[in-house]
Chains A and B, each alone.
Chain A
Amino acid sequence: MSDLLVLVSGEAARRMKEGGQWGQITFRVSDPDNVGAVIAVSDGSNPVMPTPLHSTNHFLNAGHARGQHRWYRAAPELHLLWWHARNTGREVALEVFKEKVAGRWLSPSAGRNYVALTVATEAPAEYPDISIPEMVAWYVTPDAACPVAIDVVSAEHGFPQLAGHWPTTHLAESSIMLVGAGSIGGAAAHALASYGVGRLVLIDPDRLLSHNVVRHVSSAKHVGRLKVDAVKQELAEAWPATRVDTLPVDAIAAAHLIRPRLRHVDVVLCTADGVAARRVISHLARRARTDAVLACALQDGAIGEIIRLRPWSDHGCLTCHREALTARGAMDPEPALDLGYGTGTTHRPMTAVGGDLHLVAQVAAKTAVATVLERRGHPDQKLPGEHAILGLRPALGWAPPFDLNRSGDIRWLPHSPPHPGCPTCEEP
């Protein structure tokens, strides 16, 4: 069995730090996991007051409650002993432990061992060269106090931890629209949130169906729900700092709903299937003077592709880019585009494997985030180009620039200029 771990919520820690000399503690425990979390604390012999777990859907919410544990105010050197004992696999003699703590002592007895938390707020300053915590945990037996692992949930946890190492503020202020919440889009949503993007707007009209689950980040428990709702719920659990708005509409049919929203986002990331939806997003983003990133898999999942479209005077739209590739003999245009209105298929069913699609999503999310950050003055977020081709299952014989011959290879290419007369690139 793994070592015992004690979890302490920020509220519980605050009450003990601001309290008197000692108090009682109630834990909620899971014996199979060997974990206990503080769920109620008293200050001395005052009533024991609840201190909720830091997450409302935490697995310990279903655990057993156990009272009659203690917390004590302690001398800083006891915490040094805890640190030393933890690192050397030793224990602290009960007499020594008892000497170093204040408050009403609870004697352990055979069959009545208990968990004690000790608080020494001066400890970190007393021993600045080593990380001595101000709160530690012990398993107290009639012979000794054994140091126990502890995790205190701080308000500084989450993205504040990365401040100074990552531009958390700039990303928290950023807003990204994600068109398509499918296999690439769902994974991209998680990736964007993991970068600290403050707001996501998810757009997709589809429901998660059973055949999607093999590739989608959402599990089978969400089958039947709108994909945007499934992803939103998962993000709320995994990345609560990211605000998520949803719009369950088709990008082509509801362009009028997307157009005004594009003016209030930093980037639109389009992972929608088919040529038409991507063209619509390319056009709308250009008109809104908003950067667009388009991500997809080509050749039945053999190639991943990410295109960044910037609404700059010398950068072309998606159509200009595709025409340039077609003119070079690199790409066949989508045959359905030439069929009459209402005929043909809109896109090929997805055939790639989930892991590869998630890899494309990660690169697409990185592209979108780098686009935001470069504009905010971060030179380490410059990209090598505007069009990335990613080898997933490359095969010989494709025309340049798709002639990758190794899986994992990423080739970055420049933008294509606008074509004269392009209805998207030229000002109306």
Chain B
Amino acid sequence: MDLTKAFATFQRTVDADIDQVKLARERRDAFKRALKGEPGVLEVFGSGSLARSTQLKPVHDVDLIAVFDAAVHPEWGQVGDSSAEALEVVREMVKRLLGDNEGTVAELVRLAKPRDRAVKCFIDPPEQDDAFTVDVMPVLRQADNTLLVPSKRKRYWSTADPENLIAQVEERQQEWSHFRPTVRVLKQWRHGVPTKVKSLVMEVLALKCLPTDKTRPLALRAFFTAAAVEVNYGVVDPARHCGAIQPDLDTEVLRTALESARDIAEKACAAAADGDSDGAALLWRELFGDDFPAPEEKSSGTAVGPFLYVPRPVVDAPQG
């Protein structure tokens, strides 16, 4: 079996449907067009996994950031009710511009509800599976280019830098064309971990632990090895503003899962190095599940069975 082809086939099962991504981007762009024309709105840009192209399927939400002019809203950024007020301004704006009943730019949004940090805009009917939403977060830009983001619940604004993460992912992608696809694979892998792991945890671990100068199998082996250690030191906002990404993460459970993955990846790479690509494929399938292609049956009709790792003899070529 050609492992490169097998990884490519597996990747297609992980990646979001192209039409779904296109639809998500069209809806995002409709929001951007509408909000950008509003007085007091300086910039509108995407954040979240869609902006970083690390989204998993199904794509059912899009994150947008609307940068407001602090001169127009001088009270924003202060402790108190200004967080809720900013969210209300966005809700009213979305309803007026994009409401499904007489929106002035497009008739798209059936419901806009302020949550803690953003206004969640519902587009698809509630009975639809994976109903699509757009989250719009009002922010202020600070002198150092970071953002002030509101929290209605905590009644204060905190510093964040989502553009930093977007830029870091972009940089890695420039270094290695498999970076974003492999992040999607890792996000998919986390669904098999017996504890809740936020997708952003995997993405930040990938930034730290996924090398960009290797083949996919070797990079995955290095990732699982490094991440099984790194996760114990805490997975924090790479821009160092927001602290732990998932404070309730069960580190020990995730570490154990990463260690198991590391051991399988190590065996898979050893099998491939010995020329046993079928054995390697079976091991990657054990790691990533049945979506990873199984080796084809041999012409002799031998059924594909569980991979048996055969120890290799040591070559007697002494070096002193």
Which residues from chain B contact A314 at a C-beta distance below 8 Å?
A: 252
Of residues 297 through 331 on chain A, the ones whose CB sits less than 8 Å from some CB of chain B are 310-314
Q: Which of A5-13, A127-135, A178-186, A372-380 contacts B (4 or more CB under 8 A)?
A: A372-380
Q: Is the CB of A374 within 8 A of B251?
A: no
- With A289-B233, A310-B232, A311-B233 as contacts: A377 and B252 at CB distance below 8 Å: no
Which residues from chain A contact B262 at a C-beta distance below 8 Å?
A: 379
Q: Which of A289, A310, A312, A374 is B225 in contact with, Cβ under 8 Å?
A: A374
Q: Which of B225, B251, B265 is A313 in contact with, Cβ under 8 Å?
A: B251
Query: Closest CB-CB distance, A390 to chain B, in whole Å?
Result: 24
Quick one: closest B residue to A169, CB to CB? B213
Q: Is the CB of B266 within 8 A of A379?
A: yes
B209 on interface, CB distance cutoff 8 Å: yes
* Interface residues of A, dominant DSSP: loop
- With A313-B251, A313-B252, A314-B252 as contacts: A378 and B225 at CB distance below 8 Å: yes
Question: Which 3 A-B pairs give the minimum distances between C-beta atoms?
Answer: A377-B222, A377-B226, A312-B232
- Counting chain B CB atoms within 10 Å of each CB, the highest count among A289, A311, A314, A376 belongs to A376
Interface residues on A, range: 10 to 19
Q: Could you mark each residue 41-58 of chain A with 1 if its beta carbon is under 8 Å from any beta carbon of chain B, else 0? A: 000000000000000000
Q: Is the CB of A375 within 8 A of B252?
A: no
B223 on interface, CB distance cutoff 8 Å: yes
Q: How far, in whole Å, are A311 and B229 apart by their CA atoms in the complex?
A: 11
Which residues from chain B contact A382 at a C-beta distance below 8 Å?
A: 225
Q: How far, in whole Å, are A377 and B219 apart by their CA atoms in the complex?
A: 9
* Interface residues of B, dominant DSSP: helix
Query: Closest CB-CB distance, A269 to chain B, in whole Å?
Result: 18
Which residues from chain A contact B222 at a C-beta distance below 8 Å?
A: 376-379
B221 on interface, CB distance cutoff 8 Å: yes
Of residues 241 through 267 on chain B, the ones whose CB sits less than 8 Å from some CB of chain A are 251-252, 262, 265-266
B150 on interface, CB distance cutoff 8 Å: no
Q: Is the CB of A313 within 8 A of B229?
A: no
Query: What is the count of residue pairs linking A and B with beta-carbon distances less than 8 angstroms?
Result: 36
Which residues from chain A contact B209 at a C-beta distance below 8 Å?
A: 377
Query: Closest CB-CB distance, A289 to chain B, in whole Å?
Result: 6
Of residues 190 through 247 on chain B, the ones whose CB sits less than 8 Å from some CB of chain A are 209, 211, 221-223, 225-226, 229-230, 232-234
Q: Could you mark each residue 138-160 of chain B with 1 if its beta carbon is under 8 Å from any beta carbon of chain A, else 0? A: 00000000000000000000000
Q: Is the CB of A377 within 8 A of B225?
A: yes
Q: Is the CB of B221 within 8 A of A374?
A: no
Query: Closest CB-CB distance, B314 to chain A, in whole Å?
Result: 15
Which residues from chain A contact B233 at a C-beta distance below 8 Å?
A: 289, 311-312
Which residues from chain A contact B266 at a C-beta distance below 8 Å?
A: 379
Interface residue tally for chain B (C-beta within 8 Å): 17
Which residues from chain B contact A376 at a C-beta distance below 8 Å?
A: 222, 226
Q: How far, in whole Å, are A379 and B265 apart by their CA atoms in the complex?
A: 10
Q: How far, in whole Å, are A112 and B247 apart by their CA atoms in the complex?
A: 82
Of residues 147 through 199 on chain B, the ones whose CB sits less than 8 Å from some CB of chain A are none
Q: How far, in whole Å, are A313 and B211 apart by their CA atoms in the complex?
A: 26
Which residues from chain B contact A378 at a C-beta distance below 8 Å?
A: 222, 225
Q: Is the CB of A374 within 8 A of B229?
A: yes
- Counting chain A CB atoms within 10 Å of each CB, the highest count among B222, B223, B225 belongs to B225
Query: Closest CB-CB distance, B46 to chain A, in whole Å?
Result: 31
Which residues from chain A contact B265 at a C-beta distance below 8 Å?
A: 379
Q: Could you mark each residue 49-86 of chain B with 1 if its beta carbon is under 8 Å from any beta carbon of chain A, else 0? A: 00000000000000000000000000000000000000
Which residues from chain B contact A312 at a C-beta distance below 8 Å?
A: 232-233, 251
Which residues from chain A contact B232 at a C-beta distance below 8 Å?
A: 310-313
Quick one: closest A residue to B221, CB to CB? A379
Which residues from chain B contact A311 at a C-beta distance below 8 Å?
A: 232-233
Q: How far, in whole Å, are A310 and B225 apart by their CA atoms in the complex?
A: 16
Query: Closest CB-CB distance, A208 to chain B, in whole Å?
Result: 32
- With A312-B232, A313-B232 as contacts: A377 and B211 at CB distance below 8 Å: yes
Query: Closest CB-CB distance, A16 to chain B, in whole Å?
Result: 32
Q: How far, in whole Å, are A72 and B223 apart by their CA atoms in the complex?
A: 53
Which residues from chain B contact A313 at a C-beta distance below 8 Å?
A: 232, 251-252
Q: How far, in whole Å, are A375 and B223 apart by their CA atoms in the complex?
A: 9
Q: Could you mark each residue 354-394 of chain A with 1 if its beta carbon is under 8 Å from any beta carbon of chain B, else 0? A: 00000000000000000000111111001000000000000
Quick one: closest A residue to B251, CB to CB? A313
Q: Please name 17 further chain A to chain B contacts, defined as beta carbons within 8 Å, in addition to the given A289-B234, A313-B252, A378-B222, sorted by A numbering.
A: A289-B233, A310-B232, A311-B233, A312-B232, A312-B251, A374-B226, A375-B226, A375-B229, A375-B230, A377-B209, A377-B222, A377-B223, A377-B225, A377-B226, A378-B225, A379-B225, A379-B266
Which residues from chain B contact A375 at a C-beta distance below 8 Å?
A: 226, 229-230
Q: List 19 A–B pairs whose Cβ atoms lie within 8 Å, in order of A's numbering.
A: A289-B234, A310-B232, A312-B232, A312-B233, A313-B232, A313-B252, A314-B252, A374-B226, A375-B229, A376-B226, A377-B209, A377-B211, A377-B221, A377-B223, A377-B226, A379-B221, A379-B262, A379-B265, A382-B225
Which residues from chain B contact A310 at a C-beta distance below 8 Å?
A: 232
Q: How far, in whole Å, are A379 and B209 apart by their CA atoms in the complex?
A: 13
Quick one: closest B residue to A312, CB to CB? B232
Which residues from chain A contact B230 at a C-beta distance below 8 Å?
A: 375
Query: Closest CB-CB distance, A428 to chain B, in whole Å?
Result: 16
Q: How far, in whole Å, are A23 and B266 apart by their CA atoms in the complex?
A: 55
Q: How far, in whole Å, are A306 and B144 apart by their CA atoms in the complex?
A: 46
Q: How far, in whole Å, are A375 and B251 apart by their CA atoms in the complex?
A: 16
Quick one: closest A residue to B220, CB to CB? A377
Quick one: closest A residue to B209, CB to CB? A377
Quick one: closest B residue to A314, CB to CB? B252
Q: How far, in whole Å, are A312 and B225 apart by their CA atoms in the complex?
A: 16
Quick one: closest B residue to A289, CB to CB? B233
Which residues from chain B contact A289 at a C-beta distance below 8 Å?
A: 233-234
Q: How far, in whole Å, are A313 and B262 apart by their CA atoms in the complex?
A: 21
